[in-house]
Structure 1
């Protein structure tokens, strides 16, 4: 898979370790920054990753910040994106299997790097299977389309 990876400065060190790990798992990873511990605004990174996910340039995205919350909120502002904050393997698996979340977000100040690797692996090894959740995901998509249509009227 092609994975888009990004972080803010709070998660720079974790991003660097996750990048190596994704490569070890046999995936291709594109680093969207940040590129040092110098302060950056997480929405800038999250918006770029989310936009490229919507444009199908990457199969999945992973975004990191201090809590995982900021990048999730920012990414979810891009129409068509479902970004899920996950700090455990079960939630990461379900984010994909039940919700077809294209982006996983995590907080470097919430979990350690070794645990984060397990969460990433669970997420990347899971596939959306539709099933009982398909109509729920479609309801979310339909509501988003309604809001977007109203915004353009």
Structure 2
């Protein structure tokens, strides 16, 4: 699976650890930066990374900022992105099983690397439960997005 990464300065260190794990799991990684802890604006990195997921240049994205919510806020502005913030493996499991999320957002200031690595492992190895009730719910969310967000082809 091809996974695109992005962060801000608060997520750089954790991002490096997670990239190592993801590569060891056999996935292809693209890191869109930043690469140092010098202060940056999160949207400069998360927005291009989210576009890669939305256009299917990457199958999933993992974005890391201070608490995770900034990344999710930015990514979910794009049609085709279903970004979730997870702070434990149980949340990651449900985020894949119930919502078929394609972007995982983590908080580098609020979770340690050991729990972050477990969250990533769980999120990457859990499949969507393609049962009728989950399919119906995901389709309803997609319909809301399609009603209010522009397709990338129109931008």
Unmatched 5+ residue regions in structure 1?
Answer: none
Distance 2:11 2:17 in 1: 10
The Cα RMSD (Å) is: 1.3
Consecutive aligned runs of 4 or more in structure 1 exceeding 4 Å deviation: none
Distance 1:80 1:23 in 2: 25
SS for the counterpart of 2:110 is: coil
Say if 2:7 and 2:65, in contact at 8 Å, map to a contact too. Answer: yes
SS for the counterpart of 1:138 is: helix
Distance 2:93 2:76 in 1: 19
Distance 2:8 2:15 in 1: 9
Distance 2:147 2:79 in 1: 11
Q: What is residue 124 of structure 1 aligned with on the other side?
A: 124
Question: TM-score, normalized by length of structure 2?
Answer: 0.93
Q: Are 1:18 and 2:18 an aligned pair?
A: yes
Q: What is residue 137 of structure 1 aligned with on the other side?
A: 138
Aligned pairs for 1:33-52 within 5 A? 33-52=33-52
Aligned pairs for 1:87-126 within 5 A? 87-126=87-126
Question: TM-score, normalized by length of structure 1?
Answer: 0.94
